[in-house]
Structure 1
Amino acid sequence: MNVLEVNNVYKKLGKREIIKGISFSIKEGEIFGFLGPNGAGKTTTIRMMVGLIAADKGTISICGNNIGTNSVKALSNVGAVVENPEMYTYLSGRQNLNMIADIKKIPRKNVDEIIELVNLSGRIDDKVGKYSLGMKQRLGLASALLSKPKLLILDEPTNGLDPTGIIDFREIVKKAVKETNAAVLISSHILSEVQQLCDTVAFINHGEIKAIESIADGNINNQTETLTIVVGDSSKAGVALQNISVVRGCSALDNTFTVVTEKNSSPEVIKALVSENIDIYEVYKKHNGLEQRYMELVEGGIR
């Protein structure tokens, strides 16, 4: 089931078109990365998702409810953490969560469950003013999870955190998804954060989605792979590679070939070269990393 559906959405701020016909969806239990540079349109999209501004054209639906025509029902399924969440620093973490729970008519037992989930049990009765930034982020996440939302929106959630804080936050999000089966949208410009946390990533730049691709084991999951092959006879290898059906393209620098092939076809390529009595000194697979794909789609391959 798709928890979030964004369909052909446009938005102008003043005379400038910020969002230009974007579409994507997120299903239950999916962690979806919204990746792009600052100013790409990520925050504007999130503001439309949480009802702060309206789309000029297109629709945004949460659990089947159009946010433009049925915002109360749509937003009842949403929890959000936007950068550094604001809390009452003179109150304890528990008091902050209890107050939010009372306002939203959420049972107090939910508070205890969420405190455990975000690993704040040992400090929950301390005043928030004494919390580290990482603890404040976890408290903000706890407040977003109190209502057990179907959609959790995290806008630049690890800004300002140290490496330990980033790792802790990442593991808590994974744990929360596993326990609640929520759909999660993480907006970020930090490649490593998206690569290690998300199942799917949308690349956005200048208000347009350039591609939506799945991630497996930290790598882009597509239908091709790239091999680097070092051979003894480059002219003979060049001819042989052109005649291998699974090869989509190749380039050479001296005796080193970069070969794009169909996915999982590297054994076939190697066998074909060996059958032509071509000496192979080295062969390895280049992984389709998020950084490489980001540069291709967002930066046009040029830094």
Structure 2
Amino acid sequence: MDVLEIKNLHKTLGNTEIIKGINFSINQGEIFGFLGPNGAGKTTTIRMIVGLIEPTNGEIKICGYDLSKNKEKALKNVGAVVESPELYRYLSGKENLMQIARIRGVSKREVEELIKLVGLENRMNDKISKYSLGMKQRLGLAAALIGNPKLLILDEPTNGLDPAGILEFREILKKASKEKKISVFISSHILSEIQNLCDKVAFINKGIIQSIEKMDNKGIYSEKDDIILKTNTPINIVLDIIKKLPYVIRSKVNGERITLLLEKDMTSKLVNKLVSKGVEISEVYKNKQDLEERYMELMNGGSFIE
């Protein structure tokens, strides 16, 4: 089921088109990254999704409810931290959460569970004015999770955090998504944050989504195997063997290395075949494209419209 579905979304402010017909969807339990430079259109998109501004054209559906036609039911499924969390500084952390819980009809027990989830058990009776930025961000996350939303939206949630705070927030978010089966839409311009957190990422610049890529724990997921091979056997002999293999899509010699593009999961078969033919392999590994490489490829490759 698509928890969030965006179709042909446009937003024009004055004479300037900010968002230019974007399309994407987020599945249940998926952590979806929205990656782009400052001014790319990330926050404008989020403000439309949470109902703060209306689209010029297009459709937003949350858990099947059209936001323009059934706003209350659509947003009932959403928790969000857009920019800085809105908190009452003169109240304690727990008092802040209980205010929200009362409005949403949520039990004290659920609030206690969320406090534990974000790791603020020992500071919940302190006033917000005494909280560090990282603690405020964690409290904001707990507030957004009150009522068990199906979709959690975060806009630059680690801005201003130090490296330890970023790591801490990331692990809390992963835990929340896994335990509560929540879909997460996270907007950021920090590449490492997206690579270490997301299942899928959309690249946006100047209001256009250039590409949507699957992620795994090492980088961009590919439907093919990109392999680097080094051998002590003469390269021409190895190439004669390789060119006869049906699962080798292409090969290229780079100095002492051979770069190969194979059908998915055919690397071990290739190695076994070469060894059986007497090829002496000194090194073989997958050439995984990381998020930074893909980002720079899209940004510098002329794909984005000026």
Scaled by the length of structure 1, what TM-score is found? 0.91
Structure 2: give runs of 5+ residues left out of the alignment. none
TM superposition shift of 1:295 = 2.5
The answer as to whether partners of 1:101 and 1:108 remain within 8 angstroms in 2 is: yes
Structure 2 matches for 1:89-168, cutoff 5 A?
89-168=89-168
- Cα distance in 1 between the residues matched to 2:56 and 2:83: 25
- Cα distance in 2 between the residues matched to 1:17 and 1:244: 50
- Give the corresponding residue for 2:265: 264
TM superposition shift of 1:124 = 0.4
- 1:181 maps onto 2:181 in alignment: yes
- Give the corresponding residue for 2:26: 26
**1:216-269 CA deviation, whole Å, 9 max, x = no partner?**
223322211211122342334344433332222232222222112112112333
- Give the corresponding residue for 2:252: 251
**1:28-79 CA deviation, whole Å, 9 max, x = no partner?**
2111111222222211110110111111221001111111111122111111
- Cα distance in 1 between the residues matched to 2:38 and 2:79: 23
- Give the corresponding residue for 1:9: 9
Secondary structure at the aligned position of 2:158 is classed as coil
- Cα distance in 1 between the residues matched to 2:282 and 2:28: 47
Secondary structure at the aligned position of 2:17 is classed as strand
Secondary structure at the aligned position of 2:100 is classed as helix
The answer as to whether partners of 2:2 and 2:26 remain within 8 angstroms in 1 is: yes
Secondary structure at the aligned position of 1:197 is classed as coil
The answer as to whether partners of 2:218 and 2:288 remain within 8 angstroms in 1 is: no
- Cα distance in 1 between the residues matched to 2:137 and 2:49: 21
The answer as to whether partners of 1:204 and 1:298 remain within 8 angstroms in 2 is: no
**1:197-218 CA deviation, whole Å, 9 max, x = no partner?**
1122222222222222222223
- Cα distance in 2 between the residues matched to 1:146 and 1:282: 52
The answer as to whether partners of 2:88 and 2:128 remain within 8 angstroms in 1 is: yes
- Cα distance in 1 between the residues matched to 2:263 and 2:154: 36
Secondary structure at the aligned position of 2:196 is classed as helix
- Cα distance in 2 between the residues matched to 1:272 and 1:178: 41
Amino acid paired to 1:227: I
Structure 2 matches for 1:169-208, cutoff 5 A?
169-208=169-208
The answer as to whether partners of 1:83 and 1:158 remain within 8 angstroms in 2 is: no
- Cα distance in 2 between the residues matched to 1:59 and 1:127: 41
TM superposition shift of 1:15 = 2.1
Scaled by the length of structure 2, what TM-score is found? 0.90
The answer as to whether partners of 1:202 and 1:212 remain within 8 angstroms in 2 is: yes
Distance 1:275 1:115, change over 3 A: closer
- Cα distance in 1 between the residues matched to 2:88 and 2:236: 71
- Give the corresponding residue for 2:42: 42
Distance 1:301 1:250, change over 3 A: farther
Structure 1: give runs of 5+ residues left out of the alignment. none
TM superposition shift of 1:276 = 5.4
Aligned length: 302
Amino acid paired to 1:204: I
- Give the corresponding residue for 1:224: 224
The answer as to whether partners of 1:225 and 1:288 remain within 8 angstroms in 2 is: no
Distance 1:218 1:227, change over 3 A: closer
The answer as to whether partners of 1:61 and 1:74 remain within 8 angstroms in 2 is: yes
Distance 1:271 1:117, change over 3 A: closer
- Cα distance in 1 between the residues matched to 2:88 and 2:248: 61
Amino acid paired to 1:144: A
Distance 1:65 1:12, change over 3 A: same
- Cα distance in 1 between the residues matched to 2:241 and 2:14: 58
